[in-house]
Structure 1
Amino acid sequence: MTPILKNRAGADSVHYPPADPRLIHGAVALQARLRPSANAIVHRGEHIDYATLDAAADTYAADLYTAGVRPGTVVPVLLPRSPQLVALLLAVLKCGAAYAALDRRWPQERIDRIVTASSAPILVTEAELPVDTPCWIVPSESLRMAASRGGAAPSVSIDSSSAATVFFTSGSTGTPKGVLSPHRATTRLFSGVGFADFGPSRVVLQAAAVSWDAFSMELWGPLTSGGTCAIASTDYLLPDTLAELITEAGVDTAWMTSSLFNLLVDEDDPGRPCFAGLRQILTGGERLSSTHVARFLTRYPDITLFNGYGPVESCVFATAHRVTAADCTHPEGIPIGVPVPDTAVYILAGDRVLPPGTVGEICLAGDGLALGYLGDAEATAASFSVVVLGEAPVRVYRTGDLGTLDSDGVLHFRGRSDLQVKISGHRIEPGEIETVARRLPGIREVAVVPVPAPGGGYERLAMFYTARAPTAPAPAMVRRALAAELPGYLVPHSVHHRPALPTTATGKLDRSTLLASL
Structure 2
Amino acid sequence: MSARAETDGPRAQAPAAGERALIHGAVAHWARRTPHAPALITPAGITDYARLHRAATHCAAGLRAHGVGPGDLVPVLLPRTEALVPVLLGVLQCGAGYAALDPRWPAPRLSGLLEALNPPLYVARTDLAGVRRPRWSPPEDPCATAGGPGPEGLPGGVLEGLPDGIPVAVTPDAPASVFFTSGTTGTPKGVISPHRATTRLAPSASAWTGPGRVMAQTAPTPWDAYSLEVWTPLISGGASALAPGDHLMPGRLRALVRESAVDTVFLTTALFNLFMDEDPGALTGLRTLLTGGERMSVRHVRRCRAAHPELEIVNCYGPVESCVFATTQPVGPAELDLPQGVPLGTAVSGTRLHVLRGDEPAAPGETGEICVSGDGLAHGYLDDPWLTAERFPTLRIDGADTRLYRTGDRGALDHDGALHFRGREDRQVKIAGHRVEPQEIEETVRGFPGVAQCAVLTTDDGGSALRLALFYTTEPRKGGGTDTSPAALRHALAAALPAYLVPPLISRQKSFPLTPNGKTDTRALLARLTDPAPGPHPAPRPHPAPLTDPAPRPAAPAPYPGAAAPRTGPAVPAAPRSPR
Q: TM-score, normalised by structure 1?
A: 0.93
Cα deviation, residue 19, structure 1: 6.6
Matches within 5 A, 1:470-489: 470=477, 473-489=484-500
Matches within 5 A, 1:203-242: 203-242=214-253
Contact 2:23-2:198 within 8 A present in 1 as well: yes
Matches within 5 A, 1:39-438: 39-130=38-129, 131-149=131-149, 150=156, 151-152=159-160, 153=162, 155-190=167-202, 192-194=203-205, 196-268=207-279, 273-438=281-446
Cα deviation, residue 475, structure 1: 1.0
Determine helix, strand or coil for the equivalent of 1:210. coil
Q: Identity of paired residues, percent?
A: 49
Cα deviation, residue 59, structure 1: 1.1
Higher relative contact order (CA 8 A, sep 6+): 2
2: CA distance between counterparts of 1:20 and 1:124?
A: 26
Contact 1:19-1:30 within 8 A present in 2 as well: no
Contact 1:256-1:281 within 8 A present in 2 as well: yes
- What amino acid is aligned across from residue 322 of structure 2 in structure 1? S
- What amino acid is aligned across from residue 168 of structure 2 in structure 1? V
Please give the per-residue CA displacement for 1:98-119, whole angstroms capped at 9, x wherever unaligned: 0000113322221111111110
- After superposition, the CA RMSD in angstroms is 1.5
Match of 2:474 in 1: 467
Please give the per-residue CA displacement for 1:35-59, whole angstroms capped at 9, x wherever unaligned: 0011111112311010000011111
**2:501 corresponds to 1:493:** no
1: CA distance between counterparts of 2:245 and 2:144?
A: 23
**Unaligned residue ranges in structure 2 (runs of 5+):** 1-16, 150-155, 530-580
- What amino acid is aligned across from residue 49 of structure 2 in structure 1? Y
Please give the per-residue CA displacement for 1:458-513, whole angstroms capped at 9, x wherever unaligned: 52000011111126711111111111101111101111111211222222221111
Please give the per-residue CA displacement for 1:232-264, whole angstroms capped at 9, x wherever unaligned: 111100000000010001100101101110111
Contact 2:74-2:98 within 8 A present in 1 as well: yes
Please give the per-residue CA displacement for 1:209-253, whole angstroms capped at 9, x wherever unaligned: 000001001001111111111011111000000000100011001
Please give the per-residue CA displacement for 1:138-172, whole angstroms capped at 9, x wherever unaligned: 22344131343352437312110110000010001
Contact 2:111-2:128 within 8 A present in 1 as well: no
Determine helix, strand or coil for the equivalent of 2:321. helix
Cα deviation, residue 376, structure 1: 1.1
Contact 2:59-2:138 within 8 A present in 1 as well: no
Matches within 5 A, 1:12-31: 20-31=19-30
Cα deviation, residue 193, structure 1: 4.2
Farther-moved stretch of structure 1 (192-201 vs 397-406)? 192-201
Contact 1:45-1:249 within 8 A present in 2 as well: no
Cα deviation, residue 453, structure 1: 5.5
2: CA distance between counterparts of 1:24 and 1:453?
A: 42
Please give the per-residue CA displacement for 1:33-91, whole angstroms capped at 9, x wherever unaligned: 00001111111231101000001111110110111111011001011122221000000
Cα deviation, residue 195, structure 1: 6.7
2: CA distance between counterparts of 1:333 and 1:203?
A: 30
Cα deviation, residue 29, structure 1: 0.3
- What amino acid is aligned across from residue 460 of structure 1 in structure 2? R
Contact 2:470-2:507 within 8 A present in 1 as well: yes
C-alpha change, 1:332 and 1:452, in structure 2 (3 Å) is farther
**Unaligned residue ranges in structure 1 (runs of 5+):** 1-17
